């Protein structure tokens, strides 16, 4: 995967497959401490301790359609290449938290990528899921919360034309 937004997309899709209905994505750019941190927290089915130990093995997958699970092992490699760390916390029936920290200035740290396009893809493909995206950098804090957008739309689906216009308008603030 060429950028971190694609890793986020993959992890969130895993959360959806684990029946999460609320997924929080946090990005913190702490330049002062030379740290880029990504977190994906869901309320899905979670994993037992044995499964958590296996998820970084590329030849382990819980999926039945293919025998490989490259998403988290590729993220682990990206973290390692950028002098970072990866942690996975999960409890069966309670959800999962994945945290990836990268040395911000490391020459091998992948770029963050197009978070806006990633969020649009996730919302369009999973309109029933509550997605909360929080991005912090210096004194700036950006939040996109699909629950708030849904409340404004009343009976219209979030992936309707009006809903996606609102999402795009909200994401424009992220680009600034």
Q: Give the model's pLDDT for residue 68.
A: 39
Q: Give the model's pLDDT for residue 22.
A: 98
User: Model confidence over 55-80: pLDDT tens digits?
Assistant: 777 665 555 444 334 678 899 999 99
Whole-prediction pTM: 0.90
Q: Give the model's pLDDT for residue 175.
A: 63
Can you list the domains of the chain with their CATH numbers?
Answer: 4-144 (3.30.565.10)
DSSP codes, the chain: --SHHHHHHHHHHHHHHTT-SEEEEEEEEEGGGTEEEEEEEE-S----HHHHHHTT-TT--S-SS-S---HHHHHHHHHHHTT-EEEEEEETTTEEEEEEEEETT-TTPPP---HHHHHHHHHHH-TTSEEEEEEEETTEEEEEEHHHHHHHHTTS-TTSHHHHHHHHHHHHHHH-
Taking 70 as the pLDDT cut, the residues of the chain under it are 58-70, 175-176
């Amino acid at each position: 995967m060429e950028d971190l937004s694609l890793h986020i997309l993959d992890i969130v899709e895993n959360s959806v497959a684990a029946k999460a209905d609320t997924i929080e994505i946090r990005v913190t750019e702490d330049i002062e401490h030379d740290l880029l941190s990504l977190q994906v927290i869901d309320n899905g089915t979670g994993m037992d301790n044995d499964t958590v130990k296996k998820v970084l093995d590329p030849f382990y997958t819980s999926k039945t359609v293919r025998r490989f699970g490259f998403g988290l092992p590729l993220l682990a490699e990206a973290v390692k290449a950028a002098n970072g760390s990866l942690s996975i916390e999960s409890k069966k029936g309670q959800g999962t938290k994945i945290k990836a920290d990268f040395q911000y200035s490391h020459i091998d740290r992948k770029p963050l990528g197009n978070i806006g396009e990633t969020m649009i893809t996730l919302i369009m493909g999973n309109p029933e899921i509550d997605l909360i995206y929080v991005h912090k950098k210096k004194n700036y804090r950006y939040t996109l919360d699909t629950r708030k957008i849904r409340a404004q739309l009343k009976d219209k689906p979030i992936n309707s034309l009006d809903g996606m216009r609102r999402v795009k308008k909200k994401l424009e603030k992220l680009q600034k």
